[in-house]
Amino acid sequence: MPVSGWLSVPGVLVVLLATGVPVQSGLYSADEPLVSLAGSARSLLLGSSSSWLAEFYASWCGHCRNFKETWSALARDVQDWRPAVYLCVLDCAEESNSETCSEFGITGYPSMKFFRAFAEKTSDGIRVSGYTVDSLRKQIIDRLEEQKESPPPACPPLEPISTPELDQFFENNREEYLAVIFEENKMYMGREVALDMLQFEGISVRRVVKDQTDLIEKFKVSSFPTGFLFSKNGSISRIDPGEETRSSYTNLLRSLPGVKRANHRLIGWSEKTHDDENTVIRKADNSKVYMADLESALHYSLRVEVGRFHVLEGERLKALSNFVNVVRKYLPARPYLRTLLNSLYVWIRARARTKVLFDDFEDVLNNKNTDQKAVLSSEENYVGCQGSKPEFRGFPCSLWTLFHMLTVQASEMTTQRTVKPAPREVLSAMRGYVKYFFGCRECAEHFERMAQESIRTVRTLDEAIKWLWERHNRVNKRLAGAASEDPDFPKVQWPMPELCPLCQVKTESELVTWDDPNVMHFMKTHFSKDNIADTYLVDEDVLLEKQKKANGKRDKRDVPDQENKEEIKVNEDFSENTFDKKQEEGGKMSSVHKKEPEDRPHQKPTIIKMKPQVPLKQAVQEEILDLDSYGQGLFLSRSLQDSSLHKENRALHPKVLHEPQDADFDEAAVRSRLLKRGVDTKYLIGVVMENGDVNWKGRWVKMLEGGFSRLDISLCVLLYFLSSMCLFAMYLYMSLRKRCLRKRYLFPQA
């Protein structure tokens, strides 16, 4: 039994360890009455003449796998309700679908949303809860009834039939039969049967509720439900289905002469199916930890899991910062990845008190605006965590491998006195990541309860290793044999005797106990640096070149159409008319730089970041006003040319934390000039020290958000002080003079 089998088993995160990220297939297949939204979510869910109930899931999520049976049963139960309402699915674990899931606001799995007919926006989806076929079926009916103004054209009338409608039904309709079901107000059977008969022609089904006393008395109905069949020839008969159930009514009505299935054109499964037999299973040594798995865990957690949130702020941003911090400190990463993690942590920490857009975070993750050798693999590459089928193991297994590696390395580095001891640092970072980012919300809730129960008892780094191992095995035992289990990697207590013969000890009563010293020795040996295998790893230089090409393609997509957008050059005069014109177009100022020779220094623009006037989800980037260029246009005589921008002088300035705005925009030089002129913006957060930390003592006070120097401010303060003193002196003089005059008037000299 490979070690990765244990790591793929659902551990403290309930089903976190049991399943894997599907590379080419999801939980559902084309033989089910479902529609796949892969590649066509917007076109199907928005503007459709049908209503849609969509499940967004992740195939590595054990809770989603357990829910599959319910969702498939619901799809079969309401398959005849099409085309009024369709059931559909989208696997958010597929990286090609992650952007779509984020666009539709999916932050946890499984998530169900109901889209009414003719929905216009992704935000029009209404969240649906419930995990039984009966409750979900009733919610579908409730949502359909709410669409009174624009119902799906194919949907039959669901409201109770009135007496005039009943009397004139055959005069206004071509059907041969009308089935009327009398029922209690809260019953759903009449509406369910009406939808069951949607694909059949020659008959209509309507309901009468108990409150309609005129019809109740007319037909002498005393028990509910009760059905009557009206024929076009004028005959009325009571329906006797044998038992008053939905299926009995439906089967009887479908068997009536003249009732036949209509020819409806239905939307079917559109996603291409994949052949699991073509999946290549890599040979893995169960005694090794594979760096490919660790890097795959980072790739998926940072790009896909974090990518589900458009905006990162507050506790969520803090959790991300802590997660990246422990990874950069304790993961024995390759050089380029280590560089990227350090840069990423510095970038996040500099924005700890602000809101961060994921698009900006992704640019840093992709090393988009720098030339440093920093890269993270852009795809999953599982080796030890590869399952017997694509839908098993993968990300959960690799994530647990990563966390066990971090707890062990934290203990080892503290022993070597390379870092200060922080017993719960890794566990707290893991807890924060799971709470705010892990897609399986039920798993996250289970882990949070486990953490609240006992995580505070951890006092040493070795206890942190043991805590994670114990909780992992405890839940493995509880969930052994679950549907989410990979049959080739069953959930067992780990390490197995073949890996560690001395770890398990049998007592006289044949009970197995653990030998803690041997378990600890095994954990530290198994998750040591020396036990990491580089097999199947892609060379970092190859990854770096691939990253550069990908960034180049993104830049081409981001270049505005030259026929529709005006090019603004930084070093040209910026007139008031141009500024006004750009303000009318939306207030966003863009800069396109001419490529200049390296020996020709040029001035970079000072930027003032404006608060966006639109919701953050709609904000693509911050608005930038080119203050220097604008100032040069209005006050040419006072334009400042800063020699600190020359390459030979830049080394004199401290390295300032910054968020790259554009590939050609050197914000470090801009901030350097602001610092020299005494102008602070709230974006000059701190100075990077040699150890990678940030010096927060050099924080500046924000001054008027304008281009005023310290000298200007000092002169203003000085003039204000002198003016105040002059006024105060005049006041004292006039006050004394008044007293003297009054004294002379009251006491004149003799």
In a shared domain, residues 432 and 291: yes
Strand partners, 486: 489
Q: Find the domain containing 628 and state its range.
A: 566-698
Would 202 be classed as within a structural domain? yes
Regions of the chain where pLDDT drops below 70: 1-25, 270-281, 390-391, 418-419, 479, 481-485, 508-510, 554-710, 743-750
Same domain for 132 and 200, yes or no, is: no
Contacts of 8 (CB under 8 A, 6+ apart): 17, 18, 19, 20, 385, 387, 392, 393, 394, 396, 397, 400, 486, 489
Cis peptide bond upstream of 748, omega within 30: no
> In terms of residues, how long is the chain?
750
List CB contacts of 395: < 8 A, sequence separation 6 or more.
20, 21, 60, 93, 296, 297, 300, 301, 380
Q: Of 261, 290, 309, which marks where a domain is finished?
A: 261
Q: Is residue 516 included in any domain, yes or no?
A: no
Q: Are residues 130 and 100 both part of a single domain?
A: yes
Dist. CA 342–CA 325, nearest whole Å: 8
CA distances from 725 to 147, 729, 734 (A): 73, 6, 14
Cβ atoms 411, 525 nearer than 8 A: no
Asked whether residue 137 falls in the same domain as residue 42, the answer is: yes
Q: What is the spatial distance between Cα 646 and Cα 601, in angstroms, rounded to a whole number?
A: 6
**pLDDT at res. 78:** 94
242 and 294 housed in the same domain = no
Structure tokens at 418: 């390379």
**Residue 203 sits in a domain of what CATH number?**
3.40.30.10
Q: Based on C-alpha coordinates, what's the Rg of the chain?
A: 35
CA distance 565 to 641: 29
For the domain that residue 393 is a member of, what is the CATH number?
1.20.120.1960
What is the spatial distance between Cα 605 and Cα 391, in angstroms, rounded to a whole number?
51
Q: Is-contact 421 44, C-beta < 8 A?
A: no
**Sign of the alpha-carbon torsion through 492, 497, 499, 501:** positive
Q: Cα–Cα distance between 331 and 337 in angstroms, integer?
A: 10
Residues 6+ apart with CB under 8 A from 719: none
DSSP H helical ranges for 54-122: 62-77, 95-103
**Same structural domain, 80 and 188:** no
Q: Do 177 and 229 meet the contact criterion of CB atoms below 8 Å apart?
A: yes
Alpha-carbon distance of 309 to 103, in angstroms, equals 9
Residue 54, φ and ψ in degrees, nearest 5: -110, 135
Note whether residue 587 is domain-resident.
yes
561 is a domain residue = no
Measured distance CA(585)–CA(560) in Å, rounded: 14
747 and 652 in a common domain: no
**495: cis peptide before it, omega within 30°?**
yes
Q: At what angle do helices 395-415 and 314-330 cross, to 10 degrees?
A: 60
Tokens in use for 743?
A: 């004294």
Dist CA 374 CA 696 (whole Å): 26
Residue at which a domain ends, from 261, 292, 316: 261
Picking from 424, 423, 448, 450, the residue whose alpha carbon sits closest to that of residue 434 is 448
Give the position of tokens 């660790």.
294
Burial (CB < 10 A; 0-12, 13-18, 19+), residue 10, is buried
How buried is residue 737: exposed, middle or buried, by Cβ count under 10 Å (0-12/13-18/19+)?
exposed
State the pLDDT at residue 8.
43
How much is the pLDDT for 624?
A: 37
Instruction: Please report the beta strands in 262-308, taking only residues with DSSP state E, as ranges in sequence order.
Output: 289-290
- Measured in degrees and rounded to the nearest 5, phi and psi for residue 514 equal -105, 140
Q: What are phi and psi of 504, to 5 degrees?
A: -105, 135
694 and 572 together in one domain:
yes
CA-angle at 236, arms to 233 and 237, nearest 5°? 130
Give the residue from 74, 44, 41, 73 showing the smallest Cα distance to 56.
41
Catalytic residues: 61, 64
Q: Please, what sign has the CA dihedral across residues 57, 62, 67, 73?
A: positive
Three-state SS at 727: helix
- Residues 208, 243 within the same domain: yes
Contact 133, 70 (CB under 8 A): yes
Residue 626: both structure tokens together: 């080119």
| Whether residues 74 and 197 fall in one domain | no
Query: How many structural domains is the chain composed of?
Result: 5
CA distance 144 to 53: 11
Single out the residue in 226, 261, 296 at which a domain terminates: 261
* Structure tokens, 139: 């919610």
Q: Which two tokens stand for residue 582?
A: 């750009």
312 shares a domain with 447: yes
Q: Are residues 323 and 250 in the same domain?
A: no
Q: What is the pLDDT of residue 526?
A: 92
Structure tokens, 144: 């359909």
Residue 506: inside a domain, yes or no? no
Three-class SS of residue 557? Answer: helix
Contact 128, 71 (CB under 8 A): no
Give the chain's largest Cα–Cα span. 136
Sheet containing strand 51-57, edge to edge, reads 35-36, 85-91, 51-57, 111-115, 126-128
526 occurs within a structural domain: no
Does 614 map to a domain? yes
Candidates 405, 425, 424, 422; CA nearest to 414 is 422
State the pLDDT at residue 489. Answer: 79
Give tens-digit pLDDT for 466-478: 999 888 787 777 7
**Secondary element (H or E) of residue 13:** none
| Domain contains 509 | no
